[in-house]
Amino acid sequence: MGAEKSDKKAYPLRINAAVLGAMQRWSNDELRSLNAQIEYVLRDALRKAGRLTNGARHDPPSRS
């Protein structure tokens, strides 16, 4: 089995401690990693704003 090439890019994020704590609790509730939860929230906001391209990968349905 060969390694699959990831389309993900690393990006350092500066974030308010209270916001980070809330995101961590939310990700725990959804059984996602913090990184996956942040990406899910960003992708949902982009989709709702009509700014997500059609070629973008879709997330699995929410676990809530």
**What integer is the mean pLDDT of 27-35?**
97
Residue 22 located in a structural domain: yes
Residue 42 located in a structural domain: yes
Residue 25 located in a structural domain: yes
Residue 24 located in a structural domain: yes
Residue type, 14: R
Could you tell me the residue range of the domain that residue 33 belongs to? 17-48
With cut-offs at 50, 70 and 90, classify the pLDDT of residue 53: confident
Residue 26 located in a structural domain: yes
Q: Give the span between the Cα atoms of 16 and 49, in whole angstroms.
A: 23
**Total structural domains within the chain:** 1
40 touches 32 (CB < 8 A): yes
The token duo for 31 is 């059984």
The pLDDT, as a whole number, for residue 42 is: 95
**Whole-structure pTM value:** 0.71
**Does the pLDDT at position 36 exceed 70?**
yes
Residue 35 located in a structural domain: yes
Residue 31 located in a structural domain: yes
The token duo for 57 is 């990968």
pLDDT above 90 covers a percentage of the chain that reads 67
